Chain A
Amino acid sequence: MHSRRVYALCLRMVGRTAEAEDLTQEAFLQLFRKIATFRGESAFSTWLHRLAVNVVLMRLRKKTIAESSLEETTEPDEESGGPRRDFGSADPLLSGSVDRINLQRAIHRLPPGYRAVFELHDIQGYEHNEIAGIMGCSIGNSKSQLHKARTRLRELLHEAERDRARDARQAAKTEVAGGED
């Protein structure tokens, strides 16, 4: 149970199976090394996830500048560091249900902090007070990070929908052009 959740967390955080396995092993290694320091002040799962999240975030921080700069393509706004939303503009609604493959792709494009909070809250079902314990932040901060993560995901999913629509139009044009020839 715990091992699967930790593995899922690692896999969605890094996106690569081999690295996720390595991180899972590292998280449990930390668990055994530090088990004597567990005082029961939080639930065991919270404590274990805190270790796992720290292991993953440490690894992501160590990554090359090139990779980090790619993650910064989330275009945070200047004031809050979060994704930009144009207030007053009529945002299109995501058409029906969200495609899970697109969602997976979009999650991988989130900055690590947003990704961790989104993974813990929306995917694994942790409450904000638990996430605050895991991430070492306030409940308000956890809510704020989650909101920004969802806002950014929404943008990325809209982009994916627009790309798909453009590809479909392009394919239709090509088909028409081929028919005229």
Chain B
Amino acid sequence: MLCREFESVFEQSEGTQLPAAAATHLKDCHACRAMAADFEAIRAAALELNQDFTEEPPAYIWQNLRAQLAAEGVIRQPETGGTGWLAGLLGWTHRPALVATYAMLGVFAIAVIWQNPPQRASMEAYVLPAEALATQKDLGSFETQAVSQLHPATSEVDASLRRNLDIVDKFIALCEKNVREEPQNEEARQYLYSAYQQKAELLTTAMERDWTGE
């Protein structure tokens, strides 16, 4: 075997055992043996280079990356503005408004479970339960804030959000009517509860559109 032939075989046998003819050539040829030994020395030094490298990329890379991805709308940038204790409390989430609304609705749900419908039904036959009224009021103020952040009617997404809000409002009105008429009806309460949830999600979407600058 010639050195040129050996080198071709050697090149492609990387990581596997050399064929017998190539192994014989390697044993007999000083130049090819020197090449193989040098390659091994280079490889050993290269492995050490990897072990030596313990540097992490600097932290500012991740800050830039987050800002860039948020600007492109790939991720949502968490709100960093100081809105007091609530921002601090909800700082762990990317959707603080949604969490706040769900917490509010959670309190409402617990209150509904603890109330005694048969007793109250006689007194509140034609009005909503107090807890539902409180939720309705909270959602109303949340709505004022969210709708004020919607863009002019030129935005298709905002127009769609407004349309959906109208639909949910009509559904809520219907559910509230049913609950007023049958306060002891658990199914009617559930419908009202899920309608409030839908509205809270829509309002959250409206607010987040403003945060993400879309």
Query: Residues of A at under 8 Å CB distance from B?
Result: 3-4, 6-8, 11-12, 21, 24-25, 28-29, 32-33, 85, 87-94, 96-100, 103-104, 118, 122-125, 127-128, 140, 143-144, 146-147, 150-151, 153-154, 157
Could you tell me if A7 and B55 are in contact, using CB atoms closer than 8 angstroms? yes
CA distance A126 to B55 in the complex (A): 20
Contact status A154-B38, CB under 8 Å? yes
A56 to B45, CA, bound (A): 24
Query: Are A25 and B3 in touch, CB under 8 angstroms?
Result: no
> Mind listing 8 A-B residue pairs with CB under 8 Å?
A12-B49, A88-B31, A89-B31, A93-B38, A98-B41, A122-B42, A144-B11, A147-B11
Main secondary structure of the interface of B (DSSP, over half): helix
Q: A residues within 8 A CB of B68?
A: 25, 29
The interface residues of chain A lying within 8 Å CB-to-CB of B104 are none
Q: Contacts A29-B65, A146-B14: A94 and B56 contacting too (C-beta < 8 A)? A: no
CA distance A88 to B6 in the complex (A): 12
CB pair B61 A125 closer than 8 Å:
no
Residues of A within 8 A of B38 (CB): 91, 93-94, 154, 157
Query: Do A3 and B57 have beta carbons less than 8 Å apart?
Result: yes
Q: Is B34's CB within 8 Å of the partner chain A? A: yes
Of A94, A123, A128, A157, which one neighbours B47 at CB under 8 angstroms?
A: A123
A4 near B56: Cβ-Cβ < 8 Å: yes
Measured CB to CB, the closest approach of chain A to B5, in angstroms, equals: 10
Query: Is B81 in the interface zone, CB < 8 Å from A?
Result: no
Q: Which residues of B are found within 8 Å of A6, using beta-carbon distances?
A: 57
Produce 1/0 per residue, B1-40, CB < 8 A to A: 0111001001110110000000000000011001101110
Nearest-neighbour CB distance to chain A for B46, whole angstroms, equals: 4
**B57 and A123 contact, CB distance less than 8 A:** no
A85 touches B55 (CB 8 A): no
Q: Which of B2, B41, B56, B75 has the most CB of A within 10 A?
A: B41
Verify B50–A100 contact, CB threshold 8 A.
no
**A55 CB, min distance to chain B CBs, angstroms:** 13
Main secondary structure of the interface of A (DSSP, over half): helix
Query: Do B65 and A4 touch (CB < 8 A)?
Result: no
For B44, the chain A residues whose CB sits under 8 A away are 97-98
Return B169 CB to nearest CB of chain A, in Å: 35
* Neighbouring B residues of A122 by C-beta, 8 Å: 42-43, 46-47
| B80: Cβ under 8 A from any A Cβ | no
Q: For A103, give its contact among B7, B49, B56, B69 (CB under 8 Å).
A: B49
| Any A CB within 8 A of the CB of B48 | yes
Nearest B residue to A20 by beta-carbon distance?
Answer: B57
Chain A residues with Cβ below 8 Å from B41 are 94, 96-98
Tell me the bound Cα distance from A127 to B47 in angstroms. Answer: 14
- Point out the residues of chain A lying under 8 angstroms from B74, CB to CB: 32-33
Contacts of A154 in B (CB 8 A): 35, 38-39, 42
Q: Is A103 a contact of B64 with CB atoms below 8 Å?
A: no
Q: Does B156 contact A (CB under 8 A)?
A: no
Shortest distance from the beta carbon of B101 to any chain A beta carbon, whole Å: 28
B10, B52, B55, B58: which contacts A147 (Cβ < 8 A)? B10
| B114 contacts across to A, CB distance below 8 A | none
**Given A29-B69, A154-B35, A140 and B53 touching (CB < 8 A)?**
no
